[in-house]
Amino acid sequence: MSAYRHALLALRDALRNMLHPAILVVMLLPAVAALLLWAGISWWFWDSWTSGIESLLLGIGSDGWMARLDVSRFTGFAAGLILLLLIAPATMATAMLISAVFAMPMLVAHVSRRDFPGLERRSGGTFIGGIFNAVVAIFAFGLLWIATLPLWLLLGPLAVVIPWALSAYLNQRLFRYDALAEHADAQEMQRVFSERFSDLFVLGLATGLLYFIPLINLVAPVFSALAFTCLCLSELARIREGQGNAGGSVA
């Protein structure tokens, strides 16, 4: 079965589980919480942040060929745009982090109870491991986002591929650990991560698109978490069935 088909099945199962009343209750909470948090932070620090970025731009524009462009004419607009390009991914990453830390345990319990009722719990992951995984994933995402900002100017319309690919990376890196932490042992987790990396990344690309669609992006964090839970638990069940030690049926 191709990675494309695995991703489609996971998206189908996630959509089916999304309609459950228990999921509907928490659907909007991560995105709304992240939006309110960063709206408050931005309101409080906007002037100081834009002033700092303007000073940086003026310092860069005072030397060399940029000095002839008189960058002081558009530093205010440029500073605001750069700040928005930094706040947007921070808001998205925060919503995903809230989903991973607070919503994921409930989502995993729901999917396992509904689709994999006999899947043995081997607790290969830990709460500390989940926090460490989230910190590494978000740090790498933020670093790559900032490092690739200059490419946005060079690539023009093609630059949309960059945030999409980075969102795919963050999706699969953040949710895969928590999806398996309770049910898989350490070796099974690593096996799923390595053998199904292409599946996970394709699913990351599919769910990553949702973060750039207005209104739909409000439910994207919970939907993504559900999709990765369905894919990872399905793969874990398949591995155990292949070993003659199935703990549940593949959805």
Domain membership of residue 84 (yes or no) is no
Is 197 within a domain? yes
Residue 249: what pLDDT?
41
Rounded to whole angstroms, the Cα distance separating 39 from 109 reads 32
Q: CB 80: neighbour CB atoms within 10 A?
A: 15
pLDDT at 244: 59
Q: Which residues of the chain have pLDDT under 70?
A: 1-3, 59-74, 244-251
What is the Cα–Cα distance from 26 to 23, expressed in whole angstroms? 6
Residue 113 makes CB contacts below 8 A (sequence gap 6+) with none
Are 179 and 108 a contacting pair, CB within 8 Å?
yes
Task: Please tell me the predicted confidence (pLDDT) of residue 125.
Answer: 87
Number of compact structural domains in the chain = 1
CA 96 to chain centre: 5
Tokens 């953040």 correspond to 174
Domain region containing 184: 3-30+95-242
In a domain? residue 41: no
Q: Is residue 250 part of a domain?
A: no
Per-residue pLDDT at 212: 87
Q: Is 222 part of a structural domain of the chain?
A: yes
- List CB contacts of 217: < 8 A, sequence separation 6 or more: 31, 92, 210, 211
